[in-house]
Amino acid sequence: MQRFIRPVVRIGIRPPCPVRPIRPIHTTRPIHAKYERFGGRLPPPGFEPPRSQGPGKGFINSNNPIVLRLKRRFGGDRGLVIAGVGLGGATIYYIAHLERVPETGRLRFIDVSEDQETAMGLQVQQETLAQYQGALLSPHHPTSRRVREVARRVVEANGLGKMKEAGLMEALPKISIWGGAEEEGLFGGGEGQATLSRGGERRKDIEWEVYVIKDDATKNAFVLPGGKIFVFTGILPVCKNDDGLASVLGHEVAHQVARHSAERMSSLKVLFVLGYVLEALGLDMGVSRLLLTFLLQLPNSRKAESEADHIGVQLMARACFDPRESTRMWTRMSESEKGSGGGGVANVDFLSTHPANAKRIKALEKWMSEALDVRAASPCGDSTSQFEAFREHLPLGQTGRVWG
């Protein structure tokens, strides 16, 4: 008998499904987030907002050839940063030392003190005296005394100080020492001259000195800081008379009144910094110096010379000299330079440290009305007008005999 076996029913139990983590809500990274103002326009397709520059990008790490050159020039990133800070400091220093010339209002950079300027003038004075030791005229020589008297009137009439060893011109023989056919000069006494102190702006304790150098081939005169006046005898025939000499001395004294020596020394520092910057940018040293010379140094020098002409004609007018003689003197100077072969350079304004003679004469004519008003306002105005009226009634050629 067959045994019946009941089928076994197997119930399969599946293991529980693994629990999957809930997917986080996807958000745009902040760098890619787009802010849309309500009602604003959507950006065009494919628009990518600018991304911030990460490491390796920017000015310091730029691949720009100029930046790379500067980095090599200054020794890397750190040197370039230091150079930039230094240039910024130099700019602030430059602005802090800007001032205006009191007489003309011209803006200029100057960082040299009056004491430094005077010390520099003393050094140049010693060098000049050593160079021309054998050519200096005695202080008691008639030419020295006469030049000193003209300088004394210009200096003391404008309240610029006192003249050292000023001679008494009344005791001088009336002889022709200028080299001209006529002798029109007459020295006035020191009493009663105008004494303007310009509101106390100028130092009155300067003791001015005059040195006359016997050199008939040199047509020059200059004044050093501290009141040291040097006149070469070669310029006296060009001056021709006292008024002509006063125009020359007034111009040179004006350089010191406006402190052009200190301005020139200060500008050399600016030229040095600019030359260094141009060289760092890759410009050849010779080319950079040439550009700075023609674009900055020479134009500034001509401005200073023109300014000295303007101030100088007022200084001589206040000292009772005839300012109209300044234009005649520069005409004679121009003719003298043409005769010596230097007229071409003298009339090329762009290549010279001085304005062309024709421009100087034209500028002086423009300032002449102002200068004549200055002389008329001085205590000598009336006496000078009477003297000129008397001289105009003399026959031609008798003026020289009147004055000796």
What residues are labeled active site? Answer: 252
User: For residue 205, how many other CB atoms are within 10 A of its CB?
Assistant: 6
Which amino acid is located at 154 in the chain?
V
Say how far apart CA 256 and CA 226 lie, in whole Å: 8
Eight-class DSSP state of 9? P
Which amino acid is located at 91 in the chain?
T
User: For residue 280, how many other CB atoms are within 10 A of its CB?
Assistant: 18
Helix extents (H) in 293-380 = 298-318, 325-339, 343-346, 357-377
Long-range Cβ contact pairs of 286-295 (< 8 A, separation 24 or more): 294/350
CA distances from 8 to 1, 288, 289, 344, 403 (A): 21, 108, 112, 133, 161
Say how far apart CA 87 and CA 82 lie, in whole Å: 9
Say how far apart CA 231 and CA 209 lie, in whole Å: 11
